[in-house]
Amino acid sequence: MHMRQLVLVFATLLVGDVVSFSGADPLPTSPVFYPSPWSAGGPDGWDAAYQRAHEFVSKLTLLEKVNLTTGTGNQANLCTGNTGSIPRLGFRELCLQDGPVGIRYTDLNSAFPAGISAAATWSRSLIRRRGEALGAEFRDKGIDVLLGPVVGPLGRDPAGGRNFEGFGPDPYLAGVAVAETVKGTQGAGVIASVKHFILNEQEHFRGGISSNIDDKTMHELYLWPFADAVRAGVGSVMCSYNKINNTYACENTYVLSHLLKDELGFQGFVVSDWGGQHSTEASTLAGLDMTMPGDGVRNSTYGSYWGGALTEAALSLAIAQVRLDDMVVRIMAAFYKVERDTKQVDINYSSWTNETFGPQYWHSKTGNTTVNKHVNVQADHAELIREIGAKSIVLLKNKNGALPLRRPISLAIIGEDAQDNPGGPNSCVDRICNVGTLAMGWGSATAEFPYLISPATAIEKQARIDRTLFSNVRTNWDLGVARAAASNSSTAIVFVNANSGEGYQTLDGNFGDRKNLTLWNGGDELIAAVASVNPNTIVVIHSVGPVLIDHVKTHPNVTAILWAGLPGQESGNSLTDVLYGKVNPQGRSPFTWGKAAEDWGIATLVNSSTPTPQQDFTEGSFIDYRHFDSKDIEPSFEFGYGLSYTGFSYTNLTVKKQDVGPYVPASGFTAAGPTFGGIDYDAAHALQPEEFQKVPGMIYPWIDSTDIPDDTGSPDFPYAAHNRSAQPILPAGGAPGGNPELYKVIYIIEVDVTNSGEVPGTDIPQLYLSLGGPNEPKVVLRGFDEVELDAGETKTVAFNVTYRDLSNWDTEAQDWKVTSYPKIAYVGASSRDLRLHASL
């Protein structure tokens, strides 16, 4: 108790500090927070799952418990990551697999639109269905944990290599999207692992950089979507590679224990990013629950920070039973929450070979069997992929009704980005190339394409139906040929792109993060050449994020611009649906398009001479549109912007205050930390049984020697970490997602949306709030909806404004507070097209 109180006082002092990142100051640190909160169940199925986990874990021995926490090694078994198993109970190893766009490393799977494209639909139902379809595919290959969705990086840096995996830099949009994805995926019977927790905002130095951040920005920006994921019941969270305030994310007590497990009330398990664990005891006490891929430290006799090393730590009392049991209960609670016990099938594939027959244990090349059963899990997901692909397209410009196309006389398709990759869509491993049309970024967030419909293929098919004269220029580099084709056609469509990916591989000088924000492969010159001769030039952009295209926007001969994101396998069909008006575009940009790289006010940290490069998030919550608004910088296209083939108008804004009473901070105490079953402290029983045949190179829970040191006497032994007495509930905590009071609806804001044009269409009315005060963004997104309207039709749209939506993070109270500054609600068509407003 005393230790605990000391720790809390320490924490309070630190979090109240004003952040100063000036060079002369000592490096920022994270407050220490112990003990790591134990799971206790909760609403929405957690209670029942927790009960079942409790029963299961009560039956386990120490070694079996350790087995469930530890990966058996990189490429040791069939999946991207596998835990150990419990043969005694017939419980197989758990299978964890990349990634957020589809099942990586297998066949007969679908390749979905990337997160950034899913977000661009602004459609809760499509994002939910995408999550369900992903979940079903993973489930049917035998996977227990889908390593996604992504809300970290959030997208602080427009050049950030992995931004495309997530849902864009606005925390509200990302929060809605991550919650829908989690519900969809887990509803299909697979555990989602939301990642990367937290502040892994660039690829350069990701394994050592320290992201330094103040408490308010952490809550209002980066933690926000994770709260939504936790509230949606996510079973797993992956801690990231980077450090936060100079402590590795996977051993940072403050972010894992205080923020995630205590304040956000996360009931599932924390898994390390691959190789993101750096210690045995510190990571365990900080709240890490599973290590992947398991083999970490080469000079340990165990080949792992855990496995035998964790067994030893438990026997030496360096790790108390309450913590070890909590790790396993959390893993099993997630397992039962998504009904893995009834939905699990055998693992049907090997990540490491395409052959049907081969070694189950790839690393050691042993266990020959039928590893690939080539189970076809695609179902009818192609239709959904096509729909999301089309509805994520953002129509940025459309002059003189250039679009939709109506049986053009002649059409020139120009550019590499319209074409098939001559080697096939999967010819570059992990998509580390930029050949042919771009439909996926590179890195671990990839899946093999079952096929990829290129724009040229799909448009040519339509042209044939329409008897349009069709020509196709396949290169970006022969501007003479491009001009000739363009000048000869009534319509020219130029395809351009910009790629990025994960920083384990550099592509054309881009170390994951983009080295610039311009188009790749001479895209600007290609557009200029075509537009110089064709007054009906349409530009299609496939990109991971914003590119600098103000000169394209203002070019008089460019009649239309479409951002088609990263659409996945149905790319050409999705695009054709929009070009020809079968789908009326509803996409809205999930990020801001600046005119110059400097406009964002953020630069990737690419040079550093220190082992721990310091990245100070001094801009606070002013990223993307919040920054452009506050500095009055006019973008090319703002966050939330997108056109339709019809028009929409907004009338009759009304505000209805709900009678819900004042916000009540959470209070009281948790139960004391529980343990499940006993631990056999006889070290001799933790030795490997003589008859057991190890798979070479695999990580096991057995110890090597019964000579166990006693760590508890050491002066720096963290007694507070071992405290299992009841703990105070934080004011902002108390349930998954935080204090349920935060989600009480304070206002319902209604608006009438009318389709004022000639054709049916879908509008995305957006609600922005001004929270007032001298240091706040001009407006922040706090609601949106997807409304289908026939020409002339009007529908009333309602936005719920919760207590959380109206609040700021109060660092002193350590709680959300509605400030006394005036609050204004705006409804409009984008972050800068705020048409109606009302004071709250």
Ligand X SMILES: *[C@@H]1O[C@H](CO)[C@@H](O)[C@H](O)[C@H]1NC(C)=O
List contacts with ligand X (CB under 6 A): 14-15, 17, 19, 28, 30, 63-64, 67, 72, 84-87, 93, 140, 142, 213-215, 218, 244-245, 254-255, 297, 299-300, 345-346, 348, 352-354, 366, 368, 373, 375, 426, 429, 448, 469, 471, 484-485, 488, 508-510, 515-516, 518, 520-521, 531-533, 535, 556-557, 606-607, 651-652, 700-701, 745, 752, 800
Q: How far apart are CA 305 and CA 308, in angstroms?
A: 8
Choose between 390 and 764: whose C-beta lies nearer to ligand X.
764
Q: Is 273 a catalytic residue?
A: yes
CB of 83 to ligand X, least distance (A): 8
CB nearer ligand X, residue 72 or residue 578: 72
Q: 561-598: buried (b, 16+ CB within 10 Å) or exposed (e) per residue?
A: bbbbbbbbbbbbbbbbbbbbeebbbbbbbbbbbbbebe
Q: Which residue lies nearest ligand X, judged by its C-beta?
A: 84
Amino acid making up residue 244: I
Cα(473)–Cα(484) distance, integer angstroms: 10
Nearer to ligand X, 273 or 638 (CB): 273
Angle CA(446)–CA(199)–CA(636) in degrees, nearest 5? 75
Q: What does the alpha-carbon distance between residue 18 and residue 11 come to, in Å, rounded to a whole number?
A: 14
Min dist. Cβ of residue 490 to ligand X (A): 10
Taking the complex as a whole, how short is the minimal distance between the CB of residue 199 and ligand X, in angstroms? 8
Nearer to ligand X by C-beta: 41 or 367? 367
Which amino acid, 488?
N
Is residue 48 a contact partner of residue 269, using CB atoms and an 8 Å limit? no
CB-neighbour burial class of residue 705 (10 A; exposed 0-12, middle 13-18, buried 19+) = exposed
Nearer to ligand X, 64 or 251 (CB): 64
Strands 191-197, 815-817: pairing kind: unpaired
**Using an 8 Å Cβ cutoff, are 551 and 389 in contact?**
no
**Which C-beta is closer to ligand X: that of 212 or that of 831?**
212
Closest to ligand X by CB, 578 or 636: 636
Closest approach of Cβ 582 to ligand X, in Å?
Answer: 27
Choose the catalytic residue: 98, 273, 624, 815.
273
**Quick one: 346 or 833, whose CB is closer to ligand X?**
346
User: Cis ω on the peptide bond leading into residue 198 (within 30° of 0)?
Assistant: yes
* Cβ 719 to ligand X shortest distance, Å: 22
Cα–Cα dist 245/615, whole Å:
9
Amino acid symbol at 84: G
Tell me how far, at minimum, the Cβ of 759 lies from ligand X, in Å.
Answer: 21
Q: Which residue has the tokens 């990086």?
A: 153
Q: Give me the half-sphere count of Cα atoms (radius 13 Å) on the Cβ side of residue 588.
A: 22
Residue 227 CB, nearest approach to ligand X (Å) = 15
Give the contacts of 160 (CB within 8 A, at least 6 positions apart): 153, 201, 202, 203, 500, 513, 545, 604
Q: How far is the CB of 671 from ligand X (least distance, A)?
A: 27
Q: Which is nearer to ligand X, 583 or 753 (CB)?
A: 753
Per DSSP, the residues of 431-462 read G-S--S---S-BSSS----S----HHHHHHHH
Tell me 720's DSSP state: G
State which residue, 15 or 564, has the beta carbon closest to ligand X: 15
Neighbours of 740 (CB within 10 A): 15
Identity of the amino acid at 651: T
Torsion of CA 308, 314, 318, 319, to 10 degrees: 110
Question: Do residues 365 and 530 lie in contact, with contact meaning Cβ atoms separated by under 8 Å?
Answer: no
Nearer of residues 393 and 531 to ligand X, judged by Cβ = 531
Task: Lay out the sheet containing 394-398: strands in order across.
Answer: 394-398, 558-563, 537-543, 491-498, 410-414, 469-473
Cis peptide before 404 (omega within 30 of 0): yes
Write down the least CB distance from residue 488 to ligand X, Å: 4
CA distance 332 to 583: 44
Report in angstroms how near the CB of residue 632 gets to ligand X at its nearest.
26
Question: Which phi and psi angles does 731 have, rounded to 5°?
Answer: -55, -35
Cβ at position 345, least distance to ligand X in Å: 4
Q: Residue count of the chain, please give it.
A: 840
Q: Which of 107, 114, 99, 75 is nearest to 544 (CA)?
A: 114
- Alpha-carbon distance of 274 to 280, in angstroms, equals 15
Which residue numbers are catalytic?
273
